[in-house]
Amino acid sequence: MSSLNKQTVAVVGAGVVGICSALELQRAGYQVTLFDKTPPGERASYGNAGFLARQLISPLAENMSVFSAIKMWISPNSPLSLPPSQLINLATWLVRFMRQTSKKNIEVSRGAINSLNELSVGAWERLLNDIDGLHFLRKPGFLLLWKSKNTIEDVISQRDMMQRYGIKCELINSAKIRELEPELDQQLSHALYFEDAYQVSDPYKLCQALFSKFIERGGVFAQQEVASIKQQGEVIFLTALKETIFDKAIICVGAWSKKLVSGLGLSVPLVAERGYHVDFEKNGLNIKHLIASAENRFFVSPLESAIRVVGISELGGLKLRAIKSRFTLLKNQSAGIIPKLRSSAHKSLWMGHRSTLPDSLPVIDRHPVHPNIMLAFGHQHLGLTQAAITAEILVNMMQNEKTPIDTKPYSATRF
């Protein structure tokens, strides 16, 4: 418990959200212990594209009908995938997901994603400046690509929507695409170009730098799986290898959060959405920008040590092994826009688990019954993007301070 008026906080989850939260809590004067079964930054935080994706404000359910969703989930070449073994387990979640496809619900989700995203880069700049880590931050720009000429009306609609939310972008033609990225396929028709797009040079190295600073400042890491958390009176009892007492706790262990919050009497429709990546050797391949295929929903990111292709939204749960055909799909589709990748050897293959809720919004909240327990999970594809601002909001909420945005859309009880 607290010693010399310095309150203790247990942060459960050593992904990027947990590590950022631990650092922010230290700056606010708390004594922090970070818990995770695996070493810091080695789950979903390891495998992302490194994109601080302020521009990605559309929920997963956007532009879907029941028919189109079913068609996408069952197609072997779709960026969205639902293994048949998971269908029964996810039936209730899928019903909730389909409810989010209404225009009203899409607007609510998009607005709430935008509210977090527009503060994301500033929060990262503050955090990186604090740890002398601004060298991790880059501004390469972002190209969202289309091959089909028949999609121009959709592209214009997308551009206009972005501009309504204060996101600057430019519609460019194939000649301008080739000028910006000569390595891309000559058959690309048009793109949206976002000049103000940021990334980090290596997401895993970033996590390691954040974690090192946390330890340097007196933080404690326990590589242990947390079995349960409970609050009795003003005291938190956390059970891992042994029972430990804290003043406060944060649950931010991504897709593994559901079990812990269920033990606290809270039901949230959280699922593990699996993502895949293929890292290619650079071999002189000079990709300058972050790149995405709008039609096939994958990202190409020029990281410090590799060209990383990230994609697939697979509702595969926590136990199913990686499906090898997903890697093949990413290789083939990425080579369709960067032809030289056909002859490039891959360095590594990876599959990880994103924590996902039906409305594509995270939970950032205080437990409704146990006020000393905070919740932060469900960031889906935007865990890295929203990690630093989530940490700032959590500390504001923990200290009963005003938050920079309305946190009602991220309530744990909104379902």
- Residue 293 to residue 173: CA distance in whole angstroms: 15
Give one DSSP letter per residue of 192-206, joined into a string. Answer: EEESS-EEES-HHHH
Which of 1.20.1090.10, 3.40.50.2300, 3.90.780.10, 3.50.50.60 is the CATH number of 8-137+197-410? Answer: 3.50.50.60
Helix or strand holding residue 214 (H, E) = helix 203-216
Residue 65's pLDDT is 67
CB 150 within 8 A of CB 296: no
CATH 3.50.50.60 placement within the chain = 8-137+197-410
- Sequence-distant (6+) residues with CB within 8 A of 251 are 12, 13, 229, 257, 260, 261, 373, 374, 375, 376, 377
- The model's pTM: 0.95
Residue 67's pLDDT is 65
- Residue 302 to residue 280: CA distance in whole angstroms: 10
Residue 340 to residues 280, 297, 377: CA-CA distances in angstroms?
A: 11, 20, 38
Residue 63's pLDDT is 79
- Residue 116 to residue 361: CA distance in whole angstroms: 10
- Sequence-distant (6+) residues with CB within 8 A of 211 are 14, 19, 34, 40, 41, 221
Supply 182's token pair. Answer: 């000569």
The torsion angles phi and psi of 117, rounded to 5 degrees, stand at -65, -35
To which residue do tokens 């931010």 refer?
A: 252
Residue 106's pLDDT is 96
Q: How would you classify the pairing of strands 8-12 and 31-35?
A: parallel
CB 301 within 8 A of CB 289: no
pLDDT of the chain along its 415 residues, tens only? Answer: 444 468 999 999 999 999 999 999 999 999 999 999 999 999 999 999 999 999 999 999 887 766 677 777 777 778 888 888 888 888 899 899 999 999 999 999 999 999 999 999 999 999 999 999 999 999 999 999 999 999 999 899 999 999 999 999 999 999 999 999 999 999 999 999 999 999 999 999 999 999 999 999 999 999 999 999 999 999 999 999 999 999 999 999 999 999 999 999 999 999 999 999 999 999 889 999 999 999 999 999 999 989 999 999 999 999 999 999 999 999 999 999 999 999 888 999 999 999 999 999 999 999 999 999 999 999 999 999 999 999 999 999 999 999 999 999 999 999 9
Helix or strand holding residue 281 (H, E) = none
CB 33 within 8 A of CB 219: yes
Give one DSSP letter per residue of 114-167, joined into a string. Answer: HHHHTTHHHHHHHHHHHTT-GGGEE---EEEEE--GGGHHHHHHHHHHHHHTT-
In terms of Cα–Cα distance, which of 129, 86, 110 is closest to 271? Answer: 86
Residue 104's pLDDT is 95
- Residue 91 to residue 7: CA distance in whole angstroms: 43
- Residue 167 to residue 196: CA distance in whole angstroms: 9
H helices of 281-406, where? 324-337, 383-398
